[in-house]
């Protein structure tokens, strides 16, 4: 009975800790700069959404614990978006609408990343759908380049590394995203 009563607080705490790791990973300076993600609220949002997707995608299939953890991770993200918008001076009446749009954007990006990760391009295939998603989501461009290809490789490597990491290790924060590849 005691475990049942304390579980939600433990899951929320764990989700908060994981969300902190997501934000820290999204602030890696290798992601930002000329020809890369703009260091703006929108650019930071996109990288947080990407890393949140990677973790939520790993833990959610583990029922029921992982589902609850993924749900609390997304709640932490939404709370953070609300707090950030208020700190930036967005009006109280506008914040809920913008948070709703941010949540919808997260789910849209998650679907795009999930679909693109499900397609492993053949060596002779020139178009990797993940590169196209990266170009659109992170660079807001139809053009791809070295950053898009490096980012796609990073996403695939992180997704693969997380899939090989046990749920318990991910939930405890004992995981690493892939090393960021060097770009030309």
150 is a domain residue: yes
Rounded distance, CA 98 to CA 93, Å? Answer: 10
Q: List, for residues 74-84, the tens digit of each pLDDT value.
A: 999 999 988 88
CA dihedral of residues 75, 80, 81, 83 (deg, nearest 10): 130
The answer for residues whose C-beta is within 8 angstroms of residue 86's C-beta and 6 or more apart is 92, 95
Asked whether the predicted pLDDT for residue 172 surpasses 50, the reply is yes
DSSP string, the chain: -HHHHHHHHHHHHHHHHHHHHHHHHHT-GGGBSTTSB-SSHHHHHHHHHHHHHHHHHHHTTSTTHHHHHHHHHHHHHHHHHHHHHHHTT--TTTHHHHHHHHHHHHHHHHHHHHHHHT----TT----HHHHHHHHHHH-SS---HHHHHHHHHHHHHHHHHHTS-HHHHHTT---PPPPPP--
Range of the domain at 90: 2-118+126-171
Q: Among 122, 145, 168, 138, which residue's Cα sits nearest to residue 53?
A: 138
Q: List, for residues 129-158, the tens digit of each pLDDT value.
A: 999 999 999 988 877 888 899 999 999 999
The answer for residues whose C-beta is within 8 angstroms of residue 125's C-beta and 6 or more apart is none
136 is a domain residue: yes
The confidence band for 6, taking pLDDT boundaries of 50, 70 and 90, is very low
48 is a domain residue: yes
181 is a domain residue: no
153 is a domain residue: yes
113 is a domain residue: yes
Instruction: Tell me the whole-structure pTM to 2 decimals.
Output: 0.88
Q: List, for residues 88-142, the tens digit of each pLDDT value.
A: 877 777 888 888 999 999 999 999 999 999 876 666 666 789 999 999 999 888 7
183 is a domain residue: no
184 is a domain residue: no
Number of domains in the chain: 1
Rounded distance, CA 164 to CA 154, Å? Answer: 15
Compute the C-alpha angle 105/106/107, nearest 5°: 90
């Amino acid at each position: 009975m005691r475990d049942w009563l304390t579980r939600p607080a433990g899951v929320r705490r764990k989700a908060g800790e994981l969300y902190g790791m997501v934000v820290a990973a999204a602030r890696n300076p290798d992601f930002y700069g000329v020809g890369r993600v703009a260091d703006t609220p929108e650019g930071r949002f996109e990288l947080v959404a990407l890393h949140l997707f990677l973790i939520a995608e790993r833990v959610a299939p583990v029922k029921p614990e992982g589902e609850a953890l993924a749900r609390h991770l997304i709640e932490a993200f939404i709370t953070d978006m609300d707090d950030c918008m208020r700190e930036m001076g967005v009006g109280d009446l506008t914040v809920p609408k913008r948070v709703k749009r941010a949540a919808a954007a997260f789910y849209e990006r998650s679907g795009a990343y999930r679909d693109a990760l499900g397609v492993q391009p053949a060596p002779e295939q020139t178009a990797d759908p993940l590169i196209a998603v990266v170009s659109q989501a992170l660079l807001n461009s139809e053009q791809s380049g070295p950053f898009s290809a490096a980012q796609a490789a990073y996403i695939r490597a992180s997704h693969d590394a997380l899939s090989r990491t046990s749920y318990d290790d991910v939930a405890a924060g004992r995981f690493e995203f892939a090393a960021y590849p060097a770009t030309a």
